[in-house]
Amino acid sequence: MDIFMDMVQVVVYVVFLVVLTIPLGVYMKRVFNGEHTFMDFIMRPIEKVVYRFTGVDEREEMDWKKYALSLLTFNLIGIVVLFFIQILQGYLPFNPQGFSAVKPDVAFNTAVSFVTNTNWQAYGGESTMSYFTQMVGLTVQNFVSAATGMAVAIALIRGIVRQKATTIGNFWVDLTRSVLWVLLPLSLVLAIVLVSQGVIQNLSPYKTIKTLEGADQTLPMGPVASQEAIKVLGTNGGGFFNANSAHPFENPTPFSNFLEMLAIFLIPSGLTYMFGKMVNDARQGWAIFEAMLLLFLMMFGILYASERAGNPIIANMGISGSTAMEGKEVRFGIVNSALFAAVTTAASCGAVNAMHDSLTPLGGLVPMLQMMLGEVIFGGVGSGLYGMLMFVLLTVFIVGLMVGRTPEYIGKKIESREMKMVTLAVLIPAAAILVGSALAVSIKAGTSSIHNPGPHGLSEILYAFASGAGNNGSAFAGLKANTPFYNMAVAFAMLIGRFGVILPVLAIAGSLASKKKIPAGPGTFPTTGLLFVALLVAVVLVVGALTFFPALALGPIVEHLLMQSGKLF
């Protein structure tokens, strides 16, 4: 009966996701095609003021190189500004706790983290960051980093749709419209609903109260709901508090938990339908959605089954009660903890409502593998779609080789230039994960942070670099990551994982835009049917398996086998 009710909750989640995907996809298609929407009367005047203030000509289009340069410049400025906000926070307003400057290595790591949409946190939010830093520094980047991912996805779609064109849009326009028309309205609505559930929203100093035992306890305050909304909608994941969405002030009820999980997938899912509408073939979008959903359900099934089974070593000790609740909140239980863990690592969102370091070995393998695959199973806002489209082009290319034809996708020939860029986009994050992990296990600065010897210690390091290069931000918290080595190493992994994919994607967008469309012929492989969905899923899994299986075998897989034999480290 318990399992049946667990599955009912999962089905309800998927149904809500599918139902919301269509209207949001249609709305975003109208936004980015410059068509009329019901938000125009509010957002259009604001948009004009933004352009007038920044000197942007919204009618000017960019080729892919100028688009990329604008994107890189904007993000570099973001890193610098956020770094100095943290360094100077002791002199800035809205700091009732009197927090001093953030250490330079932590400030650099955090600046890179939030600008790259990773939100890896080597610090405790309630003990490190002032309200000003949270609001003006971190929350602003939550919006614009998500908008940057959306802009890249839109640029790639334009590259597929346009013919003999030299431009792929205007980065500043795409960025602005992503924030004003999509992220801000959704965040406002979600923040109000979260406040109604008990998520706090204030600028009060921290409060000290007496517990039932008579001891003093300090309760952190702050503008949490406003950051929580964009945290999940923008697949950012950075928690206002150190415990993230396991903290009752961030995620107090089962309903708020459901809303947060739904919000994480909402925009990435809607973008797949938007893609189908923008290429004038909704079936193309549904094929990508189906592949993502199938992969997600497979991953969730493994994670849930492993957590449901629990740790047999604990069970054999004769301890009463559930052995599977280690690291989980009682108010969410096994299914909602497993579902949240699967959702947040399928998307590039580091929000957690349970401690991933406490998952069973195979339960911990699933979040790690989803990040290693590039977080293309719905993935981040924008980044999930353009990441999966890289695998789509790879699948089309492999099929083309099998039948001896030049591969095509939606009327565009996929040639050597595109495949070189696809290869870079797939391999660069993988190299960052494996090289970073290899370095960490080879030097004392890396191994000295391990608190759990044996295969789990390796898993913690693998998870850290997978989270950084995959721009996720969650962690196996048993690793002491707040050290100069990890702050710098993970920061560089985040930069490589973000921009090492974006630049090849924009190059592909520019290349495809310059090509003419060719009509489908008898030898054109259809990219909308179940066969293509199955092939796409297989390519994603095979590439991941070939790249990361040796590392995973030495970490979570060995740990699982040892656990089953009753051995501990």
Reported as a single tens digit per residue, the pLDDT across 135-146 is 999 999 999 999
Q: What is the pLDDT of residue 275?
A: 97
pTM: 0.94
3-class secondary structure, 413: strand
Domain count, the chain: 1
Print the SS3 string covering 544-567.
HHHHHHHHHHHHHHHHHHHHHCCC
Rg of the chain taking only CA atoms, in angstroms:
23
pLDDT band at 452 (very low <50, low <70, confident <90, very high): confident
| Per-residue pLDDT at 1 | 57
pLDDT given at position 319: 60
158, 169 contact by CB (below 8 A): yes
Checking if the pLDDT of 213 tops 80, the result is yes
Asked if the structure places residue 115 within a domain, the reply is yes
213 located within any domain: yes
Residue 568 has pLDDT above 80, yes or no: no
Domain assignment of residue 225, given as a range: 2-277
Does residue 321 register a pLDDT over 60? Answer: no
Q: Which residues lie below 8 Å from residue 321, measured CB to CB, with a gap of 6+?
A: none
Does a structural domain hold residue 37? yes
Alpha-carbon gap, residue 542 to 563, rounded angstroms:
27
Which residues pair with residue 217 across a beta bridge? 209
pLDDT of 254 above 70: yes
- Has residue 68 been placed in a domain? yes
3-state helix, strand, coil in the chain (%, to 5): 65, 5, 30
Question: Token pair for residue 380?
Answer: 């981040």
> Percentage of the chain surpassing pLDDT 70?
99
Residue 466 lies in a domain: no
Neighbour tally for 499: CB within 10 Å: 16
The backbone torsions φ and ψ at residue 285, rounded to the nearest 5 degrees and listed phi first, read: -65, -40
Nearest one of 356, 563, 542 to 464, comparing CA atoms: 356
State the CB neighbour count (10 A cutoff) for residue 523: 11
Rounded CA separation 156/501 (Å): 12
**Is 147 a member of any domain?**
yes
**Cα 145 to the center of its chain, rounded Å:** 11
